[in-house]
Amino acid sequence: MEVSKETLKAIAREFHGIEVSDEELELVLPEVRGYVSAIRSLDNLDLSSVMSSRLLKVQEGDES
């Protein structure tokens, strides 16, 4: 799915962001598409041998 100017406008409206012109969106759109591409590259990342950090419990405070 390609990110479009209309998608970015809808996101800005949904989050009560600022009004953005089409010219400004033309400047931002390549960067957003780059971020989306980078995130999609993580879909194929094999993390099956990595322990979840949610399983770790940090001991807080100093008990020495």
Please report whether residue 51 resides in a domain. Answer: no
* pLDDT per residue as tens digits for the range 8-64: 999 999 999 888 899 999 999 999 999 999 999 999 899 889 888 777 777 777 665
Inter-residue contact 5 to 28 (CB < 8 Å): no
Please report whether residue 24 resides in a domain. Answer: yes
Residues with Cβ within 8 Å of residue 18, at least 6 apart in sequence? 12
Please report whether residue 48 resides in a domain. Answer: no
CA distance linking residue 8 with residue 55, whole number of Å: 36
CA distance linking residue 36 with residue 3, whole number of Å: 8
pLDDT at position 62 is: 67
Full domain range(s) for residue 38: 5-43
For the entire predicted model, the pTM comes to 0.62
CA distance linking residue 9 with residue 18, whole number of Å: 9
Please report whether residue 30 resides in a domain. Answer: yes
